[in-house]
Chains A and B, each alone.
Chain A
Amino acid sequence: MRSEQKLSLSKSLGRAYRQIIYLLLFISLSIPLIKPIGLPVPIHETTLGVYNTIEALEPGDVVVMASNIGAAIASEVYPQYIAVLEHVLRKDGVKILLVDHSTEAPIWTEKALEELNAYERKSYGEDFVHIGFIPGGESGIAGICRDIHSLIQVDYHGYSLSELPMMAEIRDATDFTIVIDFSASADTQFWLNQAYAPYGTRVAFGLTAVKVPDAVAYYTAGQIFGIIESLKGAAEYEILIKRPGIAAKGMDAQSIAHLLYIGLIVVGNIIFFVSKTQRKR
């Protein structure tokens, strides 16, 4: 009687294995989100490259943050943007120029500025300027590298660039200390072609995971000074600036979920081999 019951239980469990797996995954993803465990995250050299370069900036230096963020890549790239922007905002006297390469990106840029209270922490026009959308892809980037004032007359908020004190000293790519490009498209090479190649401005990338393999070649060749890779890179950066946010929290969930997947593969195979040997008998 009892063994019968046991059998039917294991049978129904076997039939409902999908639901059990889904529940397991749901739980293992939710727990670290509710209460972060703080599993260690190894920091990559490419991420450290970005961090160290920004850390070494001096008052008066100009950082260009270019963004191509849209709904499709926001989950991977937006946390990187926030982390780097926070880091740059902390550096006193460093000027920030924000440019966007898609029509959707300015909304995300503003969202980030508001999330970090940038308008209260720094003064707009003196410490940072949001240029807004620059049309024309690569030729647009070439244009701002050559002469930003002739290409763009007004910023995102409608102020004339000539009215903004910070912009008086920024005219072309030789005035940019570094460029960090957050994107998931060929735009990354645009900055390399238009700012690094002709003017020697140093460039780094914040990328989605799929785009990283292409960019690693530029890093090893010394053409770019860093890469932030997907949500993982964002988490590393959050830990570097000691401001764990959504990405660092997500990393715990990532680690646990990956372990669950591996566990499922292993358990699946054990069951497979056990039942095979039983059948042989």
Chain B
Amino acid sequence: MVSIWRRAAEVILFIVAVTMLVDFVVEMDMLQNVATDLNRWATIIAAFALGLGAYSLLTRHIRIISRKSEGWPYSIAMIGTMTVFLLTGFITRSITSDQYNWIYSTIIQPISSTMYGMNAFFIASASYRAFRARNWEAALLLVAAIFIMLKNAPIGGVISPTLPAIGKVFWDLAGATGMRGILIGIGIGTLALSLRIILAQEKTPLGGAEE
């Protein structure tokens, strides 16, 4: 049986979405206020959802520690670091305090930029492993990639000025055909899926099948 709450959620989703959509075309102050507020509300609700995540994470790691399962010391490190951030944040009551800034720029910032930069290494291994001219499609892909690289790196223009010029032709062609087509397709696909969810035809994103 579909619970009444579930039905209510579907109705609310419909009302919220339609309000936001109408706000996009109709000039009305009240509507605009409602839409702005709804948008802010979503952010606030999402902040509460963090508690679900924290609960799930903490129970899992506390279980690992209490059972002394494989790798339990790592769980202690995880919970320890988390506690440090929570305590520093709540004691200094701001995320711009010197102390908070220090732990943030010592831990999160360097690891984040390192992880981001690791892309360069994985691009290298993928270039070697995956860029094989197995067929015409793959060949076209890697030829385009090589010319764009020669366009971007200063060395390409030094070897020969025609290389960047060819790269530019590929780049413009890609932007005007493939990328345009992809963007248009994404727009249409988003409308189709949103429509199905808003009209309660697709029920999964609102959370599983009904029990």
Contact = CB atoms under 8 A, between A and B. Distances in A.
Direct contact of A and B (CB under 8 A): yes
Interface of A: 17-18, 21-22, 24-26, 29, 39-42, 71, 209, 213, 232, 235, 251, 254-262, 264-265, 267-269, 272-273
A71 B131 CA distance: 32
A40 B157 CA distance: 9
Interface string B119-151: 011011101110111100000001001100110
B121 A25 contact: yes
B124 A258 contact: no
Say what secondary structure dominates the interface of chain B. Answer: helix
B157 A42 contact: yes
B120 A257 contact: yes
A258 B150 contact: yes
A262 B158 contact: no
B127 A265 contact: yes
B154 interface: yes
B127 A254 contact: no
A22 B127 CA distance: 12
B155 interface: yes
A213 B154 CA distance: 18
Contacts of A254: 152-154
Interface of B: 109, 120-121, 123-125, 127-129, 131-134, 142, 145-146, 149-150, 152-158, 161, 175
Contact of B154 (A26, A71, A251, A273): A251
Given A40-B158, A269-B133, A21 B124 contact: yes
Instruction: Specify which of B133, B154, B175 lies most central, judged by the most chain A CB atoms within 10 Å of its CB.
Output: B154
B155 A258 contact: yes
B132 A232 contact: no
A255 B155 contact: yes
Contact of B128 (A39, A41, A71, A265): A265
Contacts, number: 83
Contacts of B161: 42
Nearest to B133: A269
B175 A21 contact: no
A268 B128 contact: yes
A260 B124 contact: yes
A75 to B, nearest CB: 8
B90 to A, nearest CB: 23
9 contacts: A17-B125, A24-B124, A39-B158, A42-B154, A42-B157, A42-B158, A71-B109, A235-B154, A255-B154
Contacts of B175: 213
Given A24-B124, A269-B133, 7 more contacts: A22-B124, A25-B120, A41-B154, A213-B175, A232-B152, A259-B153, A261-B127
B170 to A, nearest CB: 13
A229 to B, nearest CB: 10
A267 B123 CA distance: 15
Say what secondary structure dominates the interface of chain A. Answer: helix
Contact of A268 (B132, B149, B150, B154): B132
B123 to A, nearest CB: 7
B179 to A, nearest CB: 10
Instruction: Specify which of A40, A232, A251, A258 lies most central, judged by the most chain B CB atoms within 10 Å of its CB.
Output: A258
Contact of A21 (B109, B128, B146, B157): B128
A257 B155 CA distance: 10
Contacts of A71: 109
Instruction: Specify which of B123, B132, B152, B153 lies most central, judged by the most chain A CB atoms within 10 Å of its CB.
Output: B153
A262 B146 contact: yes
A43 to B, nearest CB: 10
A3 B54 CA distance: 57
Lowest 5 CB-CB distances: which A-B pairs, in order? A258-B153, A255-B155, A42-B157, A264-B128, A41-B154
Contacts of A42: 154, 157-158, 161
Given A257-B120, A269-B133, A262 B149 contact: yes
A154 B125 CA distance: 53
Contacts of B150: 258, 262
B124 A261 contact: yes
A258 B150 CA distance: 8
B155 A272 contact: no
A268 B124 contact: no
Contacts of B146: 262, 265
